[in-house]
Amino acid sequence: MSSLPKVDFVTIGESMILFQPMPEGSIAYAPLYSKSVGGAESNVALGLSRLGKNTRWISRLGKDPFGDIIMSTLAGEGVDVSHVIRDEEASPTAVFFKEAKGYGDPNVYYYRKHSAASKFKPEDVDSKWFENARHLHVTGITPALGENTTDMIKEAMKKAKEQGLTVSFDPNLRRKLWSEEEARETLLSLIPLCDIFMPGDDEANFLLGEKTEEEYCQAFIEMGAKLVVLKLGTKGSMAKFGDTVIYGDPYKVESVVDTVGAGDAFAAGFLSVLLDLEDPLSLNALQSAAPKALTRANTMGALATQFKGDWEGAPSLSEVENIIAGKQSTTR
């Protein structure tokens, strides 16, 4: 009998220390910076933890103060970090800077080359990562980090499925990390290994060229995904499984503070509903759960745009349910 705690959700990826100018403005003239933690996969884990799910985050971190900060932050939010590898070879924990100037999306500058997480390799994948777990979530960021990280993610997806986990994949395209040709080829190669594919409409266009929304979904299902969830920005989102297509209306906000982390909040919202189900990918379960999942995902994605920081404003389950029920209004 395993002594490991049961977890609903496992994810693998790099988290970094995020620095932002204080006060908000240009990096070139900032006298002070705020410090926080950011990373797509840990953002989803943190969002799900706030929603009452048991989560586990796998990564490689440097043996440095930045790694210590990430570990304590996630553990403090209830995320299991017991399988995180601390790099003994002086590879650093990555950092990044976000610069918001009051218009458009913020500029993001990464300092993650040769980081501890970029040294991930297939031999690192351990069956204990997935023990007593139900679901694995990965993104297209980790494959872009290093020489062996694509093979590591593929090995993790295969091993998770062998151990009975369902697998979701958000392409989370980061054009700064690799060439478009390499990104397209790698991301397409991962779709057959997942059960749930969660692209944005711009990412679907990047992968397949110009098509209709339903054509995108059908193409991804033909590649092997059982459920495709397509994020449509201000138009909301849609899901396709079998012959069924369901659209979710957007949750409207008056203004946007910061878009970074909105897609991760969306993923946490959607997966939180499926993780309530015993057999989440059965057609009967999806028929009843998909509308609720899209509504919660759209709401959480929109709420994430209302605060600075990747995850700090993520709501609890009661908070998001009250907002959807109209018992609480958005204040910004």
pLDDT digits 0-9 by tens, 64-116: 999 999 999 999 999 999 999 998 887 999 999 988 766 667 788 999 999 99
State both tokens at 50. Answer: 């706030």
Using DSSP's 3-state secondary structure scheme, residue 164 falls into coil
Q: Which of 87, 170, 264, 310 is catalytic?
A: 264
Query: Which pLDDT does position 102 carry in this prediction?
Result: 65
Exposed e or buried b per residue across 263-274, where buried means at least 16 C-beta atoms within 10 angstroms of its C-beta? bbbbbbbbbbbb
Radius of gyration, alpha carbons of the chain: 19
Residues of the chain with pLDDT under 70: 1-5, 101-104, 309, 327-332
Domain spans, the chain? 40-90+123-324
Question: 40-90+123-324 belongs to which CATH class?
Answer: alpha beta
Nearest CA to 13 out of 185, 188, 153 is that of 153
Query: Which pLDDT does position 327 carry in this prediction?
Result: 63
The pTM of this model reads 0.93
As a whole number of angstroms, the distance between CA 262 and CA 298 comes to: 9
Is residue 264 annotated as a catalytic residue, yes or no? yes
Residue 125: C-alpha distances to residues 56, 157, 160, 163, 269 (Å): 14, 10, 10, 13, 27
State both tokens at 119. Answer: 């040294």
DSSP state letter for 123? G
For 48, list phi and psi in degrees, rounded to 5. -70, -35
Query: Which pLDDT does position 240 carry in this prediction?
Result: 97
Nearest CA to 56 out of 37, 36, 76, 75 is that of 75
